[in-house]
Amino acid sequence: MAGVEEVRAGIALANQKTTESIAALQQAAMGLEEAQQALAEATQGSAQEEMQHAHGSLAEVIQTLVGAQSILNATIASTEGYAGRL
């Protein structure tokens, strides 16, 4: 079984990687928001169902990324709490 310091180090590494991943998700969400804006400008006034679907799909993915960030932040908080109790 790993010692307390090894467990804490493993948790710290996991949290670092998770934080890096959160930053990547934020970057992806920002890029998709820009894509959504560009699509909205390019298709302004279009009533085509496929364009409405595209707009909705982008919005759904952005929302999913934001939700994932929240879950990952909660995960970090949980693991930090656990490490603090060791």
The range of the structural domain enclosing residue 28 comes to 4-85
Where does residue 68 rank: exposed (0-12), middle (13-18), buried (19+ CB within 10 A)?
A: middle
- Which pLDDT value is given to residue 47? 78
> Within 13 Å and on the Cβ side, how many CA atoms surround 81?
6
Q: What is the pLDDT of residues 3-29, one digit of tens each?
A: 999 999 999 999 999 999 999 999 999
Q: What is the pLDDT of residues 25-71, one digit of tens each?
A: 999 999 999 999 999 999 988 778 898 999 999 999 999 999 999 99
| Residue 1 scores a pLDDT above 70 | no
User: Considering its fold, how many domains does the chain have in total?
Assistant: 1
Q: Dump the DSSP string for 6-47.
A: HHHHHHHHHHHHHHHHHHHHHHHHHHHHHHHHHHHHHTTT--
In angstroms, the CA 1 to CA 12 distance is 18
